Amino acid sequence: MASSLLKNLYHCLRAQKQTLQTPIFFFYNSSIYTRCKMIKREVESAFELGLFRLVINMSTMLTAAQFMAPLRGIPSARSVKLLSQKRSIIGFVRNALGLDPPPSPDEPTPDNRFHPWDQSPAGDLRERAARIRTLARCPVTGKEINYTCPLSGIPTHHSREAWEQDKAYHESKKYELLKKVNIYEHDLRSGRPFPEFDFPQDQDSDRTVNMTNWDLFFYTRQFYSMDTEFQLAAVTKMLSYPITIGAILHQFSPYSLNPKGPVTLEGLKSLAALRYTLYPYENKSISSVTKDRPMRLFILGARAEAQLPGHVWKQLQFLFPEQNFEIHFVGPECLLNKEKFQYVTSSTPVVKRIDETMSFVYHTDYFHVYHEAQDFFPYDPYLDVFFCFHPGFGAPETTATWMGDTLKALLETKCAIFTTGFNKTDLTRDVEVIKSKYGKEVDILMEPAKNVFGSTKWELNDMNPQEVYQFNMHVMGFRGKRYHAIEV
């Protein structure tokens, strides 16, 4: 009986092409133990992965005939009753063998999330397709865009002929990245449950966070398991801002010292000063000082990062549980009236307290205005650090705003400044502009490098639908040059 049961179960599972994962037999009924032991070697040899784990309590299960009848499709007078029993047994065997559960019809896949944007079920994506047709130009003909790429679902060319003639587009397989943009946007609008947004709270003191990459960070912080690229894209887009900051400042930062890493000797000095404050229990001499003043994180040119919910930014504070933070969002687009969808201007700072360890402060003018008024004085390299996410120092449309009084004021603080770019070209251009204008007044803290905690979600430039990018893809750091005192 046991031999027939096991052999039929083997062929059933093989027919379904299921993957077995874990080893060894366990049987709990002593009356069949001897026979099972005899056939054990025969069954084991049939599996490519060797031994497998099968837990069967023969005293509580159906008989072998009742168990195998539904699997063989043998008609039975009790088939209706056995149907529910079959389902529970199949679920039991699936769990016992370590098999993955069957996919849910609501689970996002590239197939069920793909829709041409001009026929999208989401109205805002249809509007976005119309905006692309209005603003963008065909890379082949230079004319307006009227044709939607059938591979990506996004308007890209003037006509099908132009689409077929664009060899660079097809040889580089750019449509694959555009398709990711498409399916990620539709997934966010699908209405599916988003359990991945249930973020963990405080980290246990006996558990160390691994900052090597997203996977290890999520695992050691005990996030919801990110099993699909859709879940990863949705979460990393939000967390990229706070965790990019955390990865740079953390004592177990993934960025090491030159020549093995991008951090320079001057960068190590600045980071050592900041970490001296961030870990007060390792430096008890400053514990009384840090209690009197939170660490200030200045985010200049704040836009999307200023709209993130407080619980997202709290993930940064959980990395440094002994430290309080003030996050200062600076710029004319940092404060949004969510009811009117308009940016708000305020002559005084707007303070939003998240809890006793973190608060947001919104400043709706440019940084140099507050710097000249000495509103942020005094600056302290142990307690103050600046971040500029995608500032566009070298972009033609924004370079005048940044490269005048604002960057000059930044360098005068003598505090660490870290900036990110959409891609390597974007960040390299920013670095070259800074060096060309302020080269003798700048210390490089961190050479341009791939950001370990950049967003994995692909984005699209509506002005040029063939240009795709990811938020915070690359990162670098600098500060105003500090001159050491010399004896005269």
Give the pLDDT of residue 108. 84
- Answer for the pair 55, 96: CB distance below 8 angstroms, yes or no: yes
Model pTM score = 0.78
- Answer for the pair 270, 445: CB distance below 8 angstroms, yes or no: yes
Give the pLDDT of residue 400. 85
- Answer for the pair 184, 458: CB distance below 8 angstroms, yes or no: yes
Give the pLDDT of residue 55. 34
Distance CA 330, CA 302 (A): 6
**Token duo for residue 329:** 């969002």
Residue among 11, 7, 19 nearest 49 (CA) = 19
For 147, phi and psi rounded to 5 degrees? Answer: -120, 130
Q: Find where tokens 């008609």 sit.
A: 75
Q: What is the pLDDT along the chain (488 residues), one digit of tens a residue?
A: 445 544 554 455 444 444 333 333 333 344 444 444 444 444 444 443 333 333 333 333 333 433 333 334 433 434 434 444 544 555 555 566 666 666 666 688 888 899 999 999 999 999 999 999 999 999 999 999 999 999 999 999 999 999 999 999 999 999 999 999 999 999 999 999 999 999 999 998 888 999 999 999 999 999 999 889 999 999 999 999 999 999 999 999 999 999 999 999 999 999 999 999 999 877 665 544 445 789 999 999 999 999 999 999 999 999 999 999 999 999 999 999 988 889 999 999 999 999 999 999 999 999 999 999 999 999 999 999 999 999 999 988 888 889 889 999 999 999 999 999 999 999 999 999 999 999 889 999 999 999 999 999 999 999 999 999 999 999 999 999 987 655 66
Burial (CB count within 10 angstroms: exposed 0-12, middle 13-18, buried 19+), residue 207: exposed
Residue among 47, 42, 93, 49 nearest 70 (CA) = 93
Give the pLDDT of residue 338. 86
Distance CA 311, CA 315 (A): 7
Give the pLDDT of residue 431. 94
Q: Which domains does the chain have, with CATH numbers?
A: 2-96 (no CATH), 117-188 (no CATH), 198-480 (3.40.50)
Bridge pairing between strands 350-355 and 464-469 = unpaired
Task: Give 254's contacts (C-beta < 8 A, 6+ positions apart).
Answer: 211, 212, 213, 247, 452
Give the pLDDT of residue 90. 57
Q: Give first-to-last CA distance, the chain, whole Å.
A: 98
- Answer for the pair 33, 1: CB distance below 8 angstroms, yes or no: no
Distance CA 115, CA 125 (A): 10
Distance CA 222, CA 45 (A): 38
